Structure 1
Amino acid sequence: MTLPYLTDDCIYSILQYLQNDHSTLFKCLLVNRFWCRSTIPLLYANPFAAITKKNYSITLTLIFCFDKAEILQLKKQLGLRKINGINFYKKHNPLFEYPKYLENYNSNIINSVIYGWFAKYCSKDLLNNQKIYNDIIPIFHQSILRQSRNIKQLDIWLNLFYGESFKNFNVQNFTSNLTKLNSLSLNCYLRDSVYKEIEQEFLKNIANNCTNFRKLIIKFPRTKNSPFQNRYIYCDYLTTITFTLKICTIIQVQNNLKMFKLDGNCSLLVDNILLSLEFQKHSLVHVEFIDTDFSNVNLKRLNNLYNLEYLKFMTCEGILLNQCEGLNFSSFKLKELSFIHNYWDVNVMPLMIKYLGASLQRLFVENPTISLIENISMYCPNLIFLKISIHSHIDLSVIQLFKNLRTRILSIIISKNIDKFFINLANSIPINIREISICSHHTDKFKEFLENCHNSFEMINLNQIIKLKLLKNVLNYIEKSNNSLKVLGMKLDKELNDEELKLLNRIKAKGVEIVEFIKVFHCKSSTDDK
């Protein structure tokens, strides 16, 4: 009987299915030449993702792909640093041009991998300074970027171009090879430098050659005038404006930008960024602002982003109540809104929810006030998931207003020990809330909650290690009449004794699935990738 034969297309489909399983892919390399040729592009699309602390051998593979000039540069730097014991002097021709298959380029991860490999050969004194990062690692970046042809995701620090090894780097050739790029994260240093010309050339060429980004992340350095920021802009105003105009051009020329994130304080420039985002008003779905100063910024510009569904403000400042008024005329139907550790008037959050809440399905807020809970109850009729983080003292009268919430899923994160919080929470949870997650270090209070809450929950998720006392409380809750609990989330990282195991089995016999707390919590509280 003839053995079954797999076609080349079938083999390739199998390998693609295994593309995130690097250990299995390494085994596939040894089957035959066809399997080897087909596996290498998948294995080296994101080779740094599978690196562990014990395995940095890819660094030597990258050295074997250096050209003569890069080898000479590396030898020179190693000699100056008196790094010995690295055997790459023998002529070695790699079977493939491995860097050309790279699809995911993250400069921070690459730095970590290469640094980890060189740490084996360096003295403690060398490891404690920036010599490896400043003089050796940039040679690797220059070599990888020179050879890359298939990069789809690029996460890069622009000060990378300030290194000596990039003096003669051909930026035009590199950016012309980025035709497949769909995600760009720029960490902008903005420091006055003799190398800023190559930085400007890079940004100009990105705007000319890369117009199909689906995701764009811009990270600015921080300024001195913010209470929560600790990095500073070192360049003059003209340099900053010139840089921002190039960033704005990159935003404007994109054909179908879906996600934009601005991380960093640039209060004089945010308005220009928002103005540029209007060029993407038909495609932009997801916008995030991190550490951003909105002083004197016109928020009305957001109104023209017709398809905006996700909006996040994290550690931002400068928004005044009169600025929020412009959002009353927004054209988009927001599905998710997040507020995290912002520094502005306490009434800004309720006012934004008033204007943007009608279409909201998911909402994340902090330290609830009476006006905030009232506005959520009044202006968010379509809410499915509500996440509330409490990290300062709140009045219990706020908790009592929870009975008016119109949502199905509630997630509570509480870091403060507030007297009678859990019993008030239990008595204030409306029956329409069928799934609840509670993340708190004060686990001794869960008994109060379980004894007083309604019995219509389908999921209860508690960050509590399984213990006999908790299992008894849960079983008592389940045995309430007409109980509908289907899923119970707890921490499962301990061995159970016989009595605990017996109680756990009794709970399962009631039709309740026991799941790991962390997995359920993240599943219910994190936004899907847009």
Structure 2
Amino acid sequence: MPRQLPADCLSEIFDYLENDKITLYSCLLVNRLWCEIAVRILWKDVFCSSTPCPRVVLSLLSPIIACLPNESKDLLYKNGIFFKTSTWKPPLFNYASYCKILSINKIDQMIQNAFLQNLNSDKELILQEILKVLMSQISSLKSLDYSKCPMNVKLINFPGAKDCLMNLTELSCCSTDKYSELSPICHNIQSLTVEFGDFISNGLKDLISLQHNLKNVTLIYSYISLLNRTSGMEIITSSLSNFSLTLTRLKIIEYCIPLSFISCFINLQELILSYEYDDGLNDFDQLQYIKFPRLKVLKFLYMIPKVDMLIKFLEINGKNLDELYTGEYDRSLNLAIAEFCSNLKILFVMFINVGLDTLGIILKSCQYLESINIWCNYIDKKRFLEVLAKNTPKNFSELKIYYIFDQIHPDELEEFFINWKIHMPRRSLSLVIIKSICLEVNVETMKLIEKYVEMKLIKFRIKIYDEKED
């Protein structure tokens, strides 16, 4: 009889399958031990899914409802909220205790999708009782999305909440919420996302200031009135300046905050700026001469600063960059990338037909380049692929093509595959097509891709374009 792998070995193996839900579901059926380990991983972030299917959602909520104490069940029953009798049966596992990542808004949506289309007045009661049981059963929650909270939830009032939230490391919240309840117990937050509303509470300032090791901050603009904008800036910049040594990742989305405050984060490794209008980058001149010795990732998701400022910044910091993302074409900028960013591994940069010669210059200069991202819409695809195939660095292994409005013709793509095989005969290419949800890759192109996948020349996958992606 074959020996069973120890539980700790199986657990480590299954951890690698965290994003492969289909395989994990299959593991549930092998035996009791496999089921116990797989179910813990499956339920780690079960409340972060956003499926609208009532049947699927109800199958996820039912085990939690079954975990409710009798007083909660009686309360729901007295308020006219009835469930199938099977929902009340004791579950095989204490599913609630396995949850490590919670989104209050997602749980609220799941309740709505499952069985409350016409019982909106009782939705908050169900949410309250579910959160109550989660707080009492989860020994240590790791991530909490508190933003867009549908009700005035005071988690700390639930039994067991203090122990549950004490080791929280990730928090998403709104600037308008009151966080005085979290400040006394949550001091280990490392990743913080704040969506700004029409004012910024002092409770948020206190919560930020009391953290021990804040590393990752995302600031998202929602709405801030002109009256409160200045005071909001002061609250955030003064609070975050306490983490000048520990902060390693900063992302700012449309938030009108003086960029000069970024200069204090001398250990910054990743900087992402997302502005649809360039006025948010007007004061980038305050950063162009600042040296960030550990900066590895620099992304401008929409607009870029004035080109001369960005070039000066790259002259000082470009040598350390592993990843660079710029969403606009400028010939002088592309030449600066080739000159100052020779150690890049990942590059997203715009090209136009008259500037494709700069692609060859970049490829020859950036010999460590492993991945390049292109938009199909703005260039002669055939020529781009010819230049890429003939100048490919030896470490290059990934091509991401954005199909938003237009596609590459199959003949152009096949010619690239043939050139790749000639120049890189021993290396397979990872081809990723990132497309809009309404645009399908044409049949001829898919047949061609499948042909070369079978030949093991390429690996292939499709992603849906998400404007919120980093």
- State if a TM-score over 0.5 links the two structures: yes
- Determine whether 1:115 maps to 2:112: yes
2:216 matched residue in structure 1 = 259
Q: Displacement, 1:439?
A: 1.9
Amino acid at match of 1:175: K
Q: Displacement, 1:112?
A: 3.9
- Determine whether 1:324 maps to 2:285: yes
- Determine whether 1:477 maps to 2:419: yes
1:100 matched residue in structure 2 = 97
Deviation by residue 1:104-159 (Cα, 9 ceiling, x = unmatched):
2122443343333316xx5xxx38xx556555444423442344322111122363
Q: Alpha carbons of 1:246 and 1:494: their partners in 2 closer, same or farther (altered >3 Å)?
A: same
Amino acid at match of 2:415: N
1:452 matched residue in structure 2 = none
1:224 matched residue in structure 2 = none
Asked if the contact 2:304–2:327 (Cα under 8 Å) also holds between the matched residues in 1, the reply is no
**Count, aligned residues:** 437
Amino acid at match of 2:269: E
Q: Alpha carbons of 1:334 and 1:401: their partners in 2 closer, same or farther (altered >3 Å)?
A: same
Amino acid at match of 2:333: L
Q: Displacement, 1:378?
A: 3.6
Matches of 1:274 and 1:262, distance apart in 2: 11
1:487 matched residue in structure 2 = 428
1:284 matched residue in structure 2 = 247
2:180 matched residue in structure 1 = 204
Asked if the contact 1:289–1:316 (Cα under 8 Å) also holds between the matched residues in 2, the reply is no
1:181 matched residue in structure 2 = 168
269, 273, 286: which one pairs with 1:309?
269
Deviation by residue 1:485-508 (Cα, 9 ceiling, x = unmatched):
7334558999999x9799859x94
2:372 matched residue in structure 1 = 411
SS in structure 2 of the partner of residue 159 of structure 1: coil
Q: Alpha carbons of 1:366 and 1:141: their partners in 2 closer, same or farther (altered >3 Å)?
A: same
Higher mean C-alpha displacement, 15-24 vs 206-215: 15-24
Deviation by residue 1:272-295 (Cα, 9 ceiling, x = unmatched):
32332232222221111122123x
Matches of 2:442 and 2:375, distance apart in 1: 24
Asked if the contact 2:250–2:270 (Cα under 8 Å) also holds between the matched residues in 1, the reply is yes
Give matches, 1:20-31, under 5 Å.
20=18, 22-24=24-26, 26-27=28-29, 31=32
Q: Displacement, 1:473?
A: 2.7
Q: Alpha carbons of 1:109 and 1:445: their partners in 2 closer, same or farther (altered >3 Å)?
A: closer
1:219 matched residue in structure 2 = 195
Amino acid at match of 2:294: K
Matches of 2:100 and 2:132, distance apart in 1: 16
Q: Displacement, 1:75?
A: 2.9
Q: Displacement, 1:77?
A: 4.7
RMSD, matched Cα:
4.5
Q: Displacement, 1:38?
A: 6.7
Q: Alpha carbons of 1:273 and 1:389: their partners in 2 closer, same or farther (altered >3 Å)?
A: farther
Amino acid at match of 2:214: L
Q: Alpha carbons of 1:496 and 1:351: their partners in 2 closer, same or farther (altered >3 Å)?
A: closer
Give matches, 1:10-159, under 5 Å.
10-18=6-14, 20=18, 22-24=24-26, 26-27=28-29, 31=32, 41-42=40-41, 44-48=43-47, 53=53, 54-55=55-56, 56-78=58-80, 86-88=83-85, 92-94=89-91, 97-118=94-115, 126=118, 131=121, 133-134=123-124, 136-157=126-147, 159=149
Matches of 1:277 and 1:502, distance apart in 2: 50
Matches of 1:98 and 1:504, distance apart in 2: 44
Matches of 2:403 and 2:36, distance apart in 1: 52
Q: Displacement, 1:49?
A: 6.5
Point out where structure 2 has 5 or more consecutive residues left out of the alignment.
Answer: 434-440
Q: Displacement, 1:363?
A: 0.2
Amino acid at match of 2:98: Y
1:439 matched residue in structure 2 = 401
Amino acid at match of 2:101: N
Asked if the contact 1:275–1:301 (Cα under 8 Å) also holds between the matched residues in 2, the reply is no
Q: Alpha carbons of 1:301 and 1:330: their partners in 2 closer, same or farther (altered >3 Å)?
A: farther
Amino acid at match of 2:60: I
Q: Alpha carbons of 1:401 and 1:253: their partners in 2 closer, same or farther (altered >3 Å)?
A: same
SS in structure 1 of the partner of residue 97 of structure 2: helix
Q: Alpha carbons of 1:476 and 1:181: their partners in 2 closer, same or farther (altered >3 Å)?
A: closer
Identity %: 18
- Determine whether 1:170 maps to 2:167: no
Asked if the contact 2:40–2:98 (Cα under 8 Å) also holds between the matched residues in 1, the reply is yes
Q: Alpha carbons of 1:272 and 1:93: their partners in 2 closer, same or farther (altered >3 Å)?
A: same
1:516 matched residue in structure 2 = 460
Matches of 1:135 and 1:501, distance apart in 2: 52
Matches of 1:304 and 1:402, distance apart in 2: 34
Matches of 1:278 and 1:403, distance apart in 2: 42
Q: Displacement, 1:170?
A: 1.0
Higher mean C-alpha displacement, 90-99 vs 335-344: 90-99
Amino acid at match of 1:46: D
246, 251, 258: which one pairs with 2:203?
246
Q: Alpha carbons of 1:348 and 1:136: their partners in 2 closer, same or farther (altered >3 Å)?
A: farther
Matches of 2:26 and 2:239, distance apart in 1: 45
Asked if the contact 1:213–1:256 (Cα under 8 Å) also holds between the matched residues in 2, the reply is yes
Asked if the contact 1:402–1:429 (Cα under 8 Å) also holds between the matched residues in 2, the reply is no
Asked if the contact 1:319–1:348 (Cα under 8 Å) also holds between the matched residues in 2, the reply is no
Asked if the contact 2:49–2:106 (Cα under 8 Å) also holds between the matched residues in 1, the reply is no
SS in structure 1 of the partner of residue 149 of structure 2: helix
Amino acid at match of 2:165: L
Matches of 1:278 and 1:140, distance apart in 2: 38
Matches of 1:14 and 1:107, distance apart in 2: 31
Point out where structure 1 has 5 or more consecutive residues left out of the alignment.
Answer: 191-198, 222-232, 234-239, 447-463
Deviation by residue 1:411-470 (Cα, 9 ceiling, x = unmatched):
24325355x575378559983645373625599996xxxxxxxxxxxxxxxxx7xx5x45
Matches of 1:413 and 1:220, distance apart in 2: 32
